[in-house]
Structure 1
Amino acid sequence: MSSHFVDAVERSIMLMQGNLGEQLTVDDMARAAMFSKFHYTRVFQRVTGVSPGRFLSALRLQRAKSLLLSTSMNVADISVHVGYNSVGTFSSRFTRSVGLSPTEYRRGGGVLRSIAPLPPDDVAAGRGVVSGVVAARSSAAIEVVFMGLFKSRIPEGRPVSCATLAGPGRFGLDKVPEGTWYLLCHGLGFDDDGGTKPEADALFGCHGPFRIGPEQALDVVVRLEPARLYDPPMLLAMPDVRAIATGRRSRWGGVGVGRAA
């Protein structure tokens, strides 16, 4: 991928990050990238995997997650701070993307009790299998990996299949519906006090988009790397990774593998 394109996209993302409370337009972003609006939109999609508008929306929700855990601001003030005119719209989008309402997210310390895949009514019954290896550099202190199959490059909402692994290694996702998916992985370690390390220390991996046909089996390798500025943020709240790390290991070397527990 051209470094010229990446640099241009990153300039526009820095504009977004510095103006989350403002009503930015694609024209504003294109000017920061020094591209025409049409060219900018195509390049941004190519580099990040999503549109500029969707990326901006994800950044706003990511900032809201941080503010809910690090400040005493009320939900209404946070919604305005990240660019929403309606607290109702903010709350519904937050809940749909994160898996918890803003109040639940704050009360639970940003942790989900469990992540269940989409129910059969929401996706066609599947018989596909995605398996393979999650790899990380040998120096990476990753103790838990969450992975899920999502409809888009942004890890938000409920995946169609998911798993948690006690560190990098083999995995298997079964009952995968026919369709086009992204396999997104999120690797976390623990600090000296037993808490989760900051999000900035997390590692990320992506494979896709790829298509799974009826009863198709696919074997892949996903490499965990530090997040880049142009990687869409993780919106879905994580399960209790400490409990996962100390729980029962599965036959794949993880916990809750398959259509997750």
Structure 2
Amino acid sequence: MNLIKTELAAAAHRPDTVEAYQASVARAVRHLREQLAEPLDLDRLAEIAAISKYHFVRVFDQVTGTTPQHFLSCLRMQRAKELLLNSKLPITEVCLEVGYSSLGSFSTTFRQLVGLGPQEFRDTPRKLDAMQFSKALFGFVAARYRVRGPRLVGEVTGPARPKGFIFVGTFNKGVPQGIPYSGTVLLTRGSFRIKRPVEPEFYLMAVLVPFTADLKTLVATLPVGLVASLRVRNADVDAGQQPCLRLRPITPTDPPIVLALPALPLKPY
């Protein structure tokens, strides 16, 4: 299963068609990565993917779970995070480097997707020590036992390795990025219980971050080991279906997960 695409959606096409779509979108994503500072050109992307412009956005969403514009925004924020942490460039120059002409638009998008403002993110490794992080993290783990309101119960499965923290979250704004509506942390694969969104359809995502990740990398860049995601319908949950998230390695057509970890434990659910 691709990061956002459900197994049901995959089954709607013949295997050879699915593989062809994945290869086409992979070419488009490669172009976005190479030209991330350039304006989005859907005509050019459709040409590279060898898919008509009319069908391209739909196919792109089926493979990646999001739109080309949002995918590009995530790529830009990923690069901006790298520049903020590993260079001394002023934030204005970082903004221009990743394709934004307006500092205000850049800062707004950064906060929406990363969960922190650019300067706050740059300062995070200096401000959050191991003890603070541990207390926040285990407060988030404990949140699964005090869910208020409608509950979503499901299971996380997948390869036994690597071991790590498994962040599970729901997203009710169309794409599984930014600060989740609700979430918890598991220390092993297994069942989870979190607050259920009220929208008819929402995203459910699991991200495994290895225990071996160092603190600076962990709090700033979420070094993802395995991922899983589903579109969930509340009607199916009401009918008794429990979602199962199957962890798998990340692929080139997965949108970068740019949320900064401190944005998660500070708001347990």
Contact 1:96 1:157 in 2 (8 A): yes
SS in 1 for 2:248: strand
Q: Distance in 1 between matches of 2:106 and 2:167?
A: 26
Residues 229, 35 of structure 1: CA spacing in aligned structure 2 closer, same or farther, 3 A cutoff?
Answer: same
The number of aligned residues is 237
Using the TM superposition, give the Cα deviation of residue 59 of structure 1 relative to its aligned residue in structure 2, in angstroms.
1.4
Amino acid at match of 1:179: P
* Further displaced range: 158-167 or 82-91: 158-167
Say if 2:150 is the partner of 1:128: yes
Using the TM superposition, give the Cα deviation of residue 11 of structure 1 relative to its aligned residue in structure 2, in angstroms.
0.3
* Further displaced range: 176-185 or 204-213: 204-213
Greater fraction of residues in strand: 1
Q: In the alignment, which of 159, 168, 173 is matched to residue 147 of structure 1?
A: 168
Question: Which runs of 5 or more residues in structure 1 are unaligned?
Answer: 118-125, 245-255
Q: Distance in 2 between matches of 1:201 and 1:173?
A: 21
Q: Distance in 2 between matches of 1:208 and 1:192?
A: 29
Say if 2:77 is the partner of 1:61: yes
Q: What's the counterpart of residue 188 of structure 1?
A: 209
Identity of aligned residues (%): 30
Q: Distance in 2 between matches of 1:35 and 1:192?
A: 40
Q: What's the counterpart of residue 221 of structure 1?
A: 244
Using the TM superposition, give the Cα deviation of residue 154 of structure 1 relative to its aligned residue in structure 2, in angstroms.
3.6
Q: Distance in 2 between matches of 1:147 and 1:204?
A: 10
Q: Distance in 1 between matches of 2:191 and 2:237?
A: 23
Residues 236, 69 of structure 1: CA spacing in aligned structure 2 closer, same or farther, 3 A cutoff?
Answer: same
Residues 199, 100 of structure 1: CA spacing in aligned structure 2 closer, same or farther, 3 A cutoff?
Answer: closer
- Listed one character per residue, the Cα deviations across residues 145-179 of structure 1 (whole Å, up to 9, x for unaligned) are 11110025643333221111123222111354343
Q: In the alignment, which of 163, 181, 186 is matched to residue 184 of structure 2?
A: 163
Residues 232, 209 of structure 1: CA spacing in aligned structure 2 closer, same or farther, 3 A cutoff?
Answer: farther
* Further displaced range: 10-19 or 45-54: 45-54
Using the TM superposition, give the Cα deviation of residue 196 of structure 1 relative to its aligned residue in structure 2, in angstroms.
5.2
Q: Distance in 1 between matches of 2:92 and 2:25?
A: 31
Residues 69, 153 of structure 1: CA spacing in aligned structure 2 closer, same or farther, 3 A cutoff?
Answer: farther
Q: Distance in 2 between matches of 1:66 and 1:141?
A: 24
* Further displaced range: 3-12 or 60-69: 60-69
Say if 2:108 is the partner of 1:100: no
Q: In the alignment, which of 161, 186, 206 is matched to residue 229 of structure 2?
A: 206
- Listed one character per residue, the Cα deviations across residues 88-147 of structure 1 (whole Å, up to 9, x for unaligned) are 110011112211101111100397966999xxxxxxxx8432112211212x12320111
Say if 2:253 is the partner of 1:237: no
Greater fraction of residues in helix: 2
Amino acid at match of 2:157: A
TM-score, normalized by length of structure 2? 0.76
- What CA RMSD, in Å, does the superposition of the two structures yield over aligned residues? 3.2
Q: What's the counterpart of residue 66 of structure 2?
A: 50
